[in-house]
Structure 1
Amino acid sequence: MDIISVLASTGPFALLLVGLVVFVENGLLFPFLPGDSLVFAAAVVAGAIGVPWPVVIAVVTVAAVAGGEVGFSIGRKYGRGLFRPGAKIFRPEYLTRTEAFFARWGSGAIVLARFVPIVRTYIAPAAGASTMGRRRFSAWNAVSGLVWAVVLGVAGYLLGSIPWVAANIEWIMLGIVVVTIAPIAIGVAVKRTRAAESPDPRPEPTRP
């Protein structure tokens, strides 16, 4: 059973599922959930489950913002010590990547990060572990949650009314996942390629 069928079969309770997934992905440091495609799908089937699509956007916004606030609190309380070498979820490289993203884009990174998998999950705790004030973060967090929900929600609502889109929604959702994950995969591949091509920094042993 595909995700569209699951949402349609649960009726209005689908909103609870969507909100829970969005909250967990954005607040409980679990980055491997289909937040983007799930929100898009919820907007597509909004009419079928008897929920106005603006309500979908409202629920997603609240869940995303609440998740961000929880993530910030986790980062503020535990700091960098939460990310340890060898961890499966709290990997130091995730924090490093997010901090680099944060350093490059400043406060605007909180908005941009919503559209980047993994970074979306760790931007809030990274901000909490930094010197950013709570009030400043909360303002940008609210803006980012609203923008993310509106973009995906409106896209799902408008495109879902197109027959071709409705008939190929699974492929479109797969495309969303590929497009959002591709930059990360390419970055990892480039990094590994450069590491493999770089010369060994260790000096050669001296021959007698």
Structure 2
Amino acid sequence: MRRWNGWGSESVDYPLPPSAADYLEGMVGSGSTIADADLDQVLKSVPASKLPAHPLIRVDPIERLLHARGQSLPDWIALRSGRIGAFPDAVAYPRSDEDVRALIDYARQAGASLIPYGGGTSVVGHINPSSEPPPSLTVDMQHMSQLLDLDERSLLATFGAGVVGPDLEAQLMPHGCTLGHYPQSFELSTLGGWIATRSSGQQSLHYGRIEDHFAGG
């Protein structure tokens, strides 16, 4: 399961080696550990949604908490302390273009702002909802993640925007292809997010930035 107040999965831990702890203590001094906020208490702080019901949206507190923040240092401090600030009023998981169109129509009628959400790895705050009006609807693209078409002559591939890096490469591999795009967030970030943020990665000097791969970019 995804870690609600930090990076990655709850099943994976990253313990600090004793030598690193000694080095940090020597550089900045000893410190005390601040207790993490309790998940149950944070969930109780999620306010009621301001959006009307719709078959495609979810308003349960855990979904709204998981989509409230990105992965910057201020985001981590907010999550670890339990001082989240603002939550999306609802979260949707479209599975088709028709679902996306329906959500856009719903948001227009409800007067809501839409927040496209890929892997949640943003460090610049653009997936964080505002505490000011209008209400916000976060659209999580994780179910739209398949290779839809591949022209093996032109090497033009069409993917769903929610495909994460490892799954994208796994779907290209049987065709002898690679995108060659490896940002630091490769494991969790999505193709849609790469394009929206004009991403670059460790091999971009060779393969180019994401706009060099995006048809129409």
TM-score band w.r.t. shorter chain:
under 0.3
Higher relative contact order (CA 8 A, sep 6+): 1
TM-score by length of 2: 0.26
Higher strand share: 2
